[in-house]
Amino acid sequence: MFDWKLIVSPAFWFSLRWNPLTLGTAMLMATVFGALVLAGGFLLWTAGKKKKSDPLRRAALLWLGAPLILCGLGGELLTFFAYQQIPVFSARFWFLLLVAVFLATEISAVRFLFIGVPRRKSEVGARAQWSQYFPGRKRG
């Protein structure tokens, strides 16, 4: 049985020497990180389809999808290093760093999606309303 007290122990996360990954654990980690890559790829594919229809929604999807792909590929690489027991690169603190970077980028992307996109849409509407009072471009 897994001891959950290990998760909160700094000795668990910052040890350079640790028990090697079993094949089952490595496959589970590879599956989870592969799912992140697939989810990010789906978001980027969806963003590609919205190229002209909704540029703000497209930007938000790009902001959400790119970190998923990068963290998924980084996790796959770290899982490989951990399975092969490469001394410095197989340390557990790299996974903590990966999770911290992932959470920071996804929080900023969600913030942009729920705060930045509506603000920019209202700015576009206000700009269109005020642009009727300004002269247009001279064509010539």
Angle, vertex CA 59, rays to CA 54 and CA 60, nearest 5:
100
The residue among 34, 23, 37, 9 whose CA lies nearest residue 93 is 9
30 with 78: CB under 8 angstroms? no
Q: Which two tokens stand for residue 121?
A: 């849409």
**pLDDT at residue 77, as a whole number:** 94
Domain ranges (residues) in the chain: 22-132
pLDDT single digits (tens) 110-136: 888 888 888 888 887 777 777 777 777
**pLDDT at residue 2, as a whole number:** 65
> 54-73: buried (b, 16+ CB within 10 Å) or exposed (e) per residue?
eebebbbbbbbbbbbbbbbe
Give the residue carrying structure tokens 């122990």: 9
pLDDT single digits (tens) 43-52: 999 888 877 7
- Judged against a pLDDT cut of 60, whether residue 1 lies above it is answered with no
pLDDT single digits (tens) 13-30: 787 777 788 899 899 999
Whole-number mean pLDDT of the chain? 85
